[in-house]
Every structure is written in structure tokens, then in C-alpha cells.
Amino acid sequence: MSLKRFLQIGSRERRISVLKRFLVDEASATIASRRRSADDGGSLGPDLVSRFLDHAKKTGRPLHDDELFSVVMNIMLAGRDTTACALSWGFYELSKRPHIVQKIVEEVEQTCGVDDPDYSYDKISQLRYTHAVVMEILRLHPSVPNVHKYAVGYVFLLICIFSMCILRFHFASVPTVF
């Protein structure tokens, strides 16, 4: 470790300190907001912090802010590598297929507009072709390829076998081609 880093001096260390403070503030604000909703009896959302709070409420085991803070920081930082991986493979696949890029551009222009584009959630969720391209890239190049699943009972095992048969039938024609 360098002396500058140890003493936390220098422009790089100041930037890291500012970014760390921002992450801590955002995580603390998220936790406080979700806790207020839970304490007021309001409906908790589908996010993980709300689910943790809901589970704690059901089990009677209190969750401290430190525990929730660790969860939030993990969520905020964990997606960095998988997102970078997905974007890298996406740009690689799209660089080989300019006709697909052109279709995506046309779909975005048609759906969101050209002069004053509207990139709201509602508009973006209407991009069916773009969504299909993203799903295909993730199918060919999963960001987390080694997800191990184990059967917890016979029913689950039968569902897995049935699903695998459907996938095999569905992707019977050259599944490695984009």
C-alpha cells in the first residue's frame, strides 16, 4: 500500500472518499425510507431491502441498520462486473451484426421519437426487438454462467426435467447461433 493511500491524501483518494460518502448516504437514505414505510404499516416494495424488512417483521428477528447497510452496499456494487460483462459481449455481438444495430436504432426512433425523444420506463419497455436482442446475448454469453441448482424434492426435479425438455425442443435448431 502506498503512503498516499495509507494517509488518504492525493486527488485519487479524495475522489474515492467522495464516492464512498455518496454510496453511504444513498444506502442510508434507502434504508431509512424503507424502514419508515415498514414502521408506518405501508406497503413494502419488491426491492430486496423491503423483502429483508418484511422477513424480519414476520420472523420477529430485528434487523440492524448495519446488516441492511451491508445488503444495500452488496447490491449496489455487485452488479458492476456482471453489467460490464453483459455490455462487453453485447457490443462484441452487435459489432459483428450492423443490420441488427440498424433495426434497434429504427425501433428506438419509432418508439421513443427522434426530435424530442422520450426515454421513460414506459417507452423503453415497449422496445420488443431490443429486448429480444439483449435476451439472446445473455443466452449466448451469460454474465453468471455457473449457477448451481439442486433438487429439493421430487416435484422440483420433475419440473426441472420437464423444463429442460421444453428448452431442448424450443432450441433444437442450432442454439449456439445468434
Does the predicted model carry a pTM greater than 0.85? no
Q: What's the pLDDT at 166? A: 47
Q: pLDDT tens track of the chain, all 178 residues?
A: 677 767 767 787 788 888 888 888 888 888 888 888 777 776 667 777 888 888 888 888 888 888 888 877 777 777 777 888 899 999 999 999 999 999 999 999 999 999 999 999 899 999 999 999 999 999 998 887 665 555 555 545 455 554 555 445 445 555 556 6
Residues 6+ apart with CB under 8 A from 71: 48, 49, 52
Give the span between the Cα atoms of 29 and 23, in whole angstroms.
10
Distance of CA 169 to the CA centre of its chain: 29
